[in-house]
Amino acid sequence: MIKRTIHRIFSSLGYTLVKKETQQPKNMFTLDRALGRAAMRQPGIRTVIDVGASDGRWSENCLKFFPDANYLLVEAQSAHKDGLKKFKSQHPNGDYVIAVAGETDGEVFFDDSQLFGGQASTSSTGENMKVLPQVSLDNEIERRDLKGPFLLKLDTHGFEVPILDGAKQLLKNTNLLIIETYNFRLTDSSLRYWELCSYLDSLGFASVDQADLMLRKKDRSFWQMDTFFIRKDHEIFSSNTYD
């Protein structure tokens, strides 16, 4: 009775009482929620580089949170070209390149047996390997005269270090990295989650958020997640307390 009376009084004044949440929502680590938090932390992103873009669906989602940025989608598999062309036709601030991102311009081996997977390698590792064109992100950014601050997203299945080695200038003006990180070693040269965090720490970035945790099918162990990195000198790291 008392609660109803209080609600009626506040309602007559044009207010609605909402119970304060004491617990965090269970689904707070969806990609959309993480991108929303990222947009609040880094509102000034001018260019999004989507590496491993497939048909453009990730960038399509990212546009909801960074609508004013330019978009460059980098995808190795030409089978996705129709989807990328559609993305470009619908978004005048978007463009794409069909190539593997790597350390230098040139060629590289690529396993394209999975349309939404794929894995690059500096040497042939099986019968599904093809030789595909490779571009350095630094060179691609310079050719297109794209401006930062940048958001760089990598969905590249263990080929992260060669890509980052080819993006040294880009990283100097990158405020947000979103990388699909793995708890297992996908290739002999790939980095596991904690190793990639250490590597990026040496480049000036620290983990700040995560999304889409995935468990391995056969034993339900932690397999992968999207990890968000921002610059270590960001103001949020000046506080080390919970509240």
Give mean pLDDT, residues 84-105: 96
| pTM for this entry | 0.86
79-89: pLDDT as tens digits: 999 999 999 99
* Whole-Å CA distances, 71 to 107, 134, 143: 24, 19, 14
Residue 55 maps to a domain: yes
Give mean pLDDT, residues 68-77: 96
How many CB atoms sit inside 10 A of residue 12's CB?
Answer: 8
- Give me the number of domains the chain comprises: 1
1 — pLDDT class (breaks 50, 70, 90): low
Residue 199 maps to a domain: yes
- SS3 letters across the chain: CHHHHHHHHHHHCCCCCCCCCCCCCCCCCCHHHHHHHHHHHCCCCCEEEEECCCCCHHHHHHCCCCCCCEEEEEECCHHHHHHHHHHHHHCCCEEEEECEEECCCEEEEEECCCCCCCEEECCCCCCCEEEEEEEEHHHHHHHHCCCCCEEEEECCCCCHHHHHHCCHHHHCCEEEEEEEEECCCCCCCCCCHHHHHHHHHHCCEEEEEEEEEEECCCCCCEEEEEEEEEECCCHHHHCCCCC
pLDDT value at position 21? 47
The residue among 47 and 120 whose pLDDT is bigger is: 47
Residue 183 maps to a domain: yes
Distance CA 184, CA 164 (A): 20
Residue 161 maps to a domain: yes
Q: Is the pLDDT of residue 165 over 80?
A: yes
CATH number, domain at 176? 3.40.50.150
Cis check: omega of the bond before 43, within 30 degrees of 0: no
Token pair listed for 222: 């932690």
Angle at 26 between CA 20 and CA 31, to 5 degrees: 115
61-71: pLDDT as tens digits: 999 999 999 99
Residue 10 maps to a domain: no
* Whole-Å CA distances, 223 to 81, 112, 195, 218: 29, 21, 15, 10
Pairing between β-strand 129-136 and β-strand 100-102 as defined by DSSP bridges: parallel
Q: Is the pLDDT of residue 3 over 90?
A: no
- The amino acid at residue 45 is I
Give mean pLDDT, residues 87-93: 97
185-194: pLDDT as tens digits: 988 889 999 9
Give mean pLDDT, residues 92-118: 88
Residue 221 maps to a domain: yes
Q: Which of 128-132, 170-174, 209-213 has the lowest mean pLDDT?
A: 128-132
What is the domain extent for residue 234?
Answer: 24-238
Residue 37 maps to a domain: yes
Residue 17 maps to a domain: no
Give mean pLDDT, residues 27-38: 94
